[in-house]
């Protein structure tokens, strides 16, 4: 039997190595090589590299079963400068594992090592290490590169750590679990000029401020209160300076929803507001609206299976069905658009810094819990 304490120490070492050497989406060459090397030392039947650019797929077969399930981890880091003075602090300036993908990768490696050593299932397990989750592009890249054709599987499971939940605490939800994410950019063009003579031009900053304010009416006045929608402006950029009125302004942000009709309603109203406000201020408006993430929809039956595993592992007091979906987005949703599966949260600690924060760090005490869930769901779904 595998010594779990020793495996935990190994996973912690792997995780801290990955944390110290973060790589951005589609640039995870060293991370992918590290993952592939470990999988080969575990004795997997096949290890494929370069899937979807820098993705890795490991395959482990036991028995004669013809069913396959997939377990997925993400590998990419964020363009954030890490703070703090940890020994395993990022060595790559301006890059940081601020979302815990280093921990996700380490716990899936641990599950691969455990299952390779002990088996306990009848069929095939695919270990998917995905690039570029933060972009919302990595899953599609792997799928476009023939993931489902070359390495088929019947269902898929994934884990994300969650600050605020106790370590070892499990949460998921059937059906709607995480939202879609749309990105928008509104560009305003006018005639800039001297700050002392605004009447000589048609500067864009006041129009931009009006648009930012008016965008808030979309959810408040154009979306059914029973539906979930979020519109957030995150940047306002102009070409002006202290004594010069800008001639160009860019408004950037994102929108969240759970239904395509709401996404389309948000886009429609945004275009109406941008064009109408621009006309009122005698400037031009151009709207670019893109859909980056689809809603994450857990399969009802498989969410129940995941919950049963969690209760068995952690106890009923440490596993719950979320009362409502969250408006964060996750690239794992693309896989669920092709096969059923379930995405789950595991606690990173009640005092953990938030995700995408420069002081965030994955809690190594959670590695064993994630590894055990991966291994247990594989064994349950591929029972001998």
Distance separating alpha carbons of residues 130 and 54, to the nearest angstrom: 8
Strands of the sheet with 46-51, listed across from one edge: 46-51, 55-62, 123-130, 68-74, 155-162, 341-347, 170-172, 319-321
What pLDDT sits at residue 327? 94
Let me know if 19 is exposed, middle or buried by CB neighbors in 10 A (0-12, 13-18, 19+): buried
- Give, for all 384 residues of the chain, the pLDDT tens digit: 899 999 999 999 999 999 999 999 999 999 999 999 999 999 999 999 999 999 999 999 999 999 999 999 999 999 999 998 899 999 999 999 999 999 999 999 999 999 999 999 999 999 999 999 999 999 999 999 999 999 999 999 999 999 999 999 999 999 999 999 999 999 999 999 999 999 999 999 999 999 999 999 999 999 999 999 999 999 999 998 999 999 999 999 999 999 999 999 999 999 999 999 999 999 999 999 999 999 999 999 999 999 999 999 999 999 999 999 999 999 999 999 999 999 999 999 999 999 999 999 999 999 999 999 999 999 999 997
Distance separating alpha carbons of residues 36 and 48, to the nearest angstrom: 8
What pLDDT sits at residue 384? 75
3-state secondary structure 27-90: CCHHHHHHHHHHHHHHCCCEEEEEECCCEEEEEEEECCCCCEEEEEEECCCECCCCCCCCCCCC
DSSP letter, residue 362 = -
Q: Going by DSSP bridges, is the β-strand pair 123-130/319-321 parallel, antiparallel, or unpaired?
A: unpaired
Q: What is the pTM of this model?
A: 0.94
Distance separating alpha carbons of residues 19 and 95, to the nearest angstrom: 10
Distance separating alpha carbons of residues 380 and 198, to the nearest angstrom: 70
Whole-number Cα distances in Å, 73 to 16, 32, 132, 220, 350: 16, 12, 11, 37, 23
Distance separating alpha carbons of residues 97 and 18, to the nearest angstrom: 8
Give the HSE-up count for residue 49: Cα atoms under 13 Å, Cβ half-sphere. 13
Q: Which two tokens stand for residue 270?
A: 């945004």
Report the Cα–Cα distance between both ends of the chain, in Å, rounded: 18
Tokens 């940890």 identify what position?
86
């Amino acid at each position: 039997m595998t010594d779990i304490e020793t495996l935990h120490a190994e996973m912690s070492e792997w995780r801290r190595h990955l944390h110290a050497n973060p790589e951005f989406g589609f640039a995870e060459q060293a991370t992918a090589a590290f993952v592939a090397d470990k999988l080969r030392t575990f004795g997997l039947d096949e290890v494929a590299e370069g899937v979807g650019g820098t993705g890795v797929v490991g395959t482990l077969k036991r028995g004669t079963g013809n069913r396959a399930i997939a377990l997925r981890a993400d590998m990419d880091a964020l363009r954030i400068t890490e703070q703090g003075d940890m020994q395993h602090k990022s060595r790559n300036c301006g890059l940081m594992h601020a979302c815990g993908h280093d921990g996700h990768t380490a716990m899936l490696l641990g599950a691969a090592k455990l299952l390779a050593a002990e088996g306990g299932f009848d069929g095939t397990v695919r270990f998917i290490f995905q690039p570029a989750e933060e972009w919302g592009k990595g899953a599609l890249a792997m799928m476009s590169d023939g993931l489902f054709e070359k390495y088929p599987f019947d269902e898929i499971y994934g884990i994300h750590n969650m600050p605020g939940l106790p370590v070892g605490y499990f949460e998921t939800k059937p059906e709607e679990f995480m939202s879609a994410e749309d990105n928008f950019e509104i560009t305003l063009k006018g005639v800039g000029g001297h700050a002392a003579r605004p009447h000589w031009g048609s500067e864009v900053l006041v129009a931009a401020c009006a648009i930012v304010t008016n965008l808030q009416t979309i959810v408040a006045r154009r979306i059914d209160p029973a539906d979930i929608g979020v519109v957030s402006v995150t940047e306002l950029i102009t070409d002006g300076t202290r004594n010069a009125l800008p001639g160009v302004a860019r408004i950037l942000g994102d929108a969240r929803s759970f239904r395509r009709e709401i996404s389309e309603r948000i886009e429609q109203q945004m275009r109406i507001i941008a064009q109408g406000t621009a006309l009122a201020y005698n400037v031009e408006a151009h709207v670019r609206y893109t859909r980056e993430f689809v809603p994450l929809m857990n399969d009802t039956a498989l969410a129940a299976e995941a919950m049963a595993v969690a209760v068995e592992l952690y106890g009923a007091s440490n596993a719950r069905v979320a009362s409502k979906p969250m408006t964060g987005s996750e690239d794992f949703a693309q896989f669920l658009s092709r096969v059923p599966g379930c995405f789950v949260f595991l606690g990173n600690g009640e005092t953990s810094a938030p995700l995408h924060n420069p002081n965030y760090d994955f809690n190594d005490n959670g590695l064993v819990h994630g590894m055990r869930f991966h291994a247990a769901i594989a064994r349950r779904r591929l029972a001998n």
